Structure 1
Amino acid sequence: MISSFPWESVGIEHDSAWNETLARYGRSFWLASRFLPRETRHHVTTIYAFFRHLDDIADTGRLEPQLAETMLRSWQAWLVSHFATPVPNPSLARAVARVYTRYGLPAQYACDLIDGLLDDLFPRRIRSHSELYHYCYRVAGAVGLTLAPLLGVHCRPGLSAANALGIAMQLTNIARDVGEDLRRGRLYLPIEDLARFGVDPSEVERLANEFRPPDHRLQAVIRLQVARARQFYRQAIRGYPCLPPRVRLAIIVSAEVYGAILHVIERNQYDTIRLRAVAGYDDKAAALLRAWKIHRRLSRGGNCPCPSFGIA
C-alpha cells in the first residue's frame, strides 16, 4: 500500500503543508512530484491525499475493523453517488470532488481500491499469482488508472502502462514487507509459490514472529516476486511515450526511485522478514540519473505516438 501518511493532521487546502509532510512521510512521491508543473502537482497531491486517507483507514491499526469498514463504505457510497452523500472528512471530500469533476476522473477505480482495502481489514492469505495480480490492481493499479487522465494520458497503451506501474509498485511493497505483513496477519506471497519451493505458510509465519532470516527456499519465493515486479516495470516503460512531455520525467522518476527498492532487497539477500529495504541517497541518485537518461532519449519523440488519443 501507499506508505503511511497522517493526512488528518494536514490542512488539505495548504500546498506548503502538503510538501513539508510529504517530504517526511511520502519521500518517493514527494521527490517525483517536484518534477510536475505546479498546478498538476497540486491536483495529483490532492488525489494522493485521498488515497492515502483511505489506505490509513484500513492499514494503521488505529481503528476497529468494523469501524474502518463503515468509513470505507461511506467513501465508496460518496463516489457512487457522485459526491452527494456524507463522508467522515468533508474538507478532503470537497478538494477531491473538485479534481474529479475538473478532469472527469472515473470513480470506478477508487471504488475498486476500496474493495481491495476492505479485504485487508482482516487476516488474509493470497492463494495464487492471479489472485495476487488482482489484489495489486485494486490497491495500486487503480491508483495509476485514476491519475492517468489527470496527467493527460487517454490512449489504451498509456492506460495499460499506468496500471502496470501501479502493480509493479505494489509487488515491490509485497517483496519489501513480508515480515511486517505477516506480523499483521497478512500473507501476500501466493500459497502456490510457497508450495512450488516446498515452504509451508506456517513456517513463514514462524520466521516472522521469531524475527529469523529466510532460508534458501523462502529467498527463492521472494526473488520470484522481485522478478515479477521488474516485469511490470518493463511493461510500464512501454507507456512512457504516451505521457505528455511536461509530466513524463516525474513519472519516470517515480518508477526508477521506487524500483530501486528491489536492488536493496537483493543486497539484503532477500531478507525482508527482519529487514525493511530502504533506498538510500546513492540508490536514489542513481535512479534519478537513469530517469533523466530515459527522459532525454524519449524527448526526441514528441507527443503520444498512438494513432488516436481515444481509448477505443
Structure 2
Amino acid sequence: MYPTSEINNSYNFVAKLTKSASSNFYYAFKILPREKRNAIYSGYAFCRLVDDLVDKNNNLPKKNIESQLFDIENKLNDCIEQKKHKHNGMWIALGETLRKHPQNLRHLKDVIDGCRMDLNKTKYKNFNQLTEYCKKVASSTGLAMIEVFGVKDLKAHKYATDLGIALQLTNILRDIKEDYKMGRFYLPEDELRNFNTSENEILSGEKKENVRKFMEFQAKRVRDYFISGERLFPLINKKYRFCPEIMKNIYFEILTEIEKNNFDVINKKIRLSKIQKIRIIFPSIIKSFYIGLFR
C-alpha cells in the first residue's frame, strides 16, 4: 500500500498533465467529486501517454515503439498489484483507479491495441474495419468513463460506444491532412470508389462535387452516431452528466464547422475559438453546479 502522500502526489501529477494537454477538459472535469475527478484525470493521462508515443515518434523504428507499448501494457498490469517502478508518475494514481474500477483494465488495454493499429494499419478497406479502430481508440475511453460514473443500464454500453465512434470520426474528418503526413488515411476505400473519388482527390483540396458529396455522406453518418450517443446522457447521474455532454458538444461543433466550411479541411485547419469553447463548456458547468447545490 502506498503512503497517502505518494497517492496524492500522483493524482496531482495526472491533473497537471491533463491541464497542460487539454485545459478545456481539465476545467470541465474539475468540478466533479474528487474521487471521480481523480479517476478521469488518471485515465486521460494514460490515454495521452499511449497516443503521444505512437503519434509523436515517427522518427523511431516501429519495433521500438511496439516495445514501448508492450512495456506500458506490463506496467498497466503491475500498477494494479502496486509493483513500484523507478518513475511512478501517473502509475500510482492509475493503480488506485483500477482497483476501484477493475473493468477499466480491459478498456485501457483496448486503447493500447487501437494505437498499435496505427503502427500496423495505414488504410481501411471498409467502414466495418474503421469502426473497429474507432471502438478501440475512442469508445473504450467512454466505456471506462461510465464505469467510473457507476452507470448500470445495459443500454449504456451501446450508446457510449456510438458516442466514441462519433468523436473519433469527427477527428478523422478534421485531421485528414495531418494524418496523411503521418502516413495514415482512414477514409474507407470502398466508399471512395462508390463516390468516384480517390485519396489523391481528397488530399488535393480542390472543390469538386464528388468530393463534397462523399464528405456530406461521412458527416451525415457522424451525426447519426452523435444522435445515438446522446441517448447515454439520461442514463448518467445528473451530477456527472455534464462531462460527456461537454465532449459531445465540442466535437459536434467541430463537425458543424467542417460543414460550414463546405468540407474543405485541406486548405483550412478547422478549430474552435476560445469563445466558442467557453460558450459550450460554461453553461454545462453552471447547470451541474446548480444541480449539486439544490440536491
Q: Quote the offset at 1:282 in angstroms.
A: 4.3
In 1, distance between residues paired with 2:55 and 2:86?
17
Equivalent residues, number: 282
Aligned to 1:36: 32
Structure 2 residue aligned with 1:196? 194
1:217-254 alpha-carbon deviations (Å, 9 max, x no partner):
22322222222221111111112111012101222122
**What are the Cα deviations for residues 66-101 of structure 1, in whole angstroms up to 9, with x where unaligned?**
111111122224445774588795332222111000
Name the structure where helix makes up a greater proportion of residues: 2
The CA deviation at 1:111 is 1.8
> Which 5+ residue runs of structure 2 have no aligned equivalent?
1-7
Task: Report the aligned-residue RMSD.
Answer: 3.0
Q: CA offsets, 1:242-296, max 9 Å, x none?
A: 1012101222122112221111111222111232211124433443478589989
Are residues 183 and 55 of structure 1, via their aligned partners in 2, closer, same or farther at CA, if it must alter by over 3 Å? same
Equivalent of 1:175 in 173, 176, 181: 173
Cα deviations by residue, 1:186-240 (Å, 9 ceiling, x for unpaired): 01111111111111234345x2xxxx44533223222222222211111111121
Structure 1 position 52 matched with structure 2 position 48:
yes
User: 2:218, 2:79 → 1: CA distance?
Assistant: 37
Instruction: Specify whether residues 291 and 107 from structure 1 end up closer, same or farther in structure 2 by C-alpha distance, changes over 3 A only.
Output: same
Match for 1:48: what amino acid? Answer: Y
Partner of 1:306: none
Identity %: 25
Q: Please name the residue that 1:152 is paired with.
A: 150
Deviations for 1:134-189, whole angstroms, at most 9, x for unmatched residues?
Answer: 11001100111122111121221122222222111101100100111112110111
With over 3 angstroms needed to count, the CA separation of the structure-2 counterparts of 1:19 and 1:94, relative to structure 1, is: closer
TM-aligned CA distance change 1:28 to 1:227, over 3 Å: farther
Task: Compute the displacement of 1:14 (Å).
Answer: 5.5
Please list the CA deviations of residues 25-58 of structure 1 after superposition, one character each: whole Å capped at 9, or x if unmatched. 3144224314422331122101110111011111
2:125 aligned counterpart, secondary structure: coil
CA 1:127–1:292 in structure 2 vs 1: closer, same or farther (change >3 Å)? same
Tell which deviates more after alignment, 213-222 or 162-171: 213-222
The offset of 1:119, in angstroms, is 1.4
Q: In 2, Cα distance between the equivalents of 1:126 and 1:88? A: 39
1:256 aligns with 2:254: no
Structure 1 CA distance for aligned equivalents of residues 35 and 109 of structure 2: 26
The unaligned stretches of length 5 or more in structure 1 are 1-10, 300-312
Code of the aligned partner of 2:280: A
> Once the two structures are superposed, what CA deviation does each residue of 1:105-127 show, in whole Å capped at 9, x if it has no partner?
33222222211111112461011
CA distance 1:172–1:195, change in 2 (3 Å): same
Q: TM-score, normalised by structure 1?
A: 0.79
Distance 1:113 1:19, change over 3 A: closer
Matched, 1:91 2:89: yes
Distance 1:277 1:41 in 2: 29
Counterpart contact for 2:80–2:99, Cα < 8 Å: no
**Which of 60, 64, 70 in structure 1 is aligned with 2:61?**
64
Cα 1:294–1:174 shift into 2, 3 Å: farther
- Contact 1:32 1:251 (C-alpha < 8 Å) held by counterparts: no
Distance 1:21 1:87, change over 3 A: closer
Secondary structure (helix, strand or coil) at the match of 1:246 reads coil
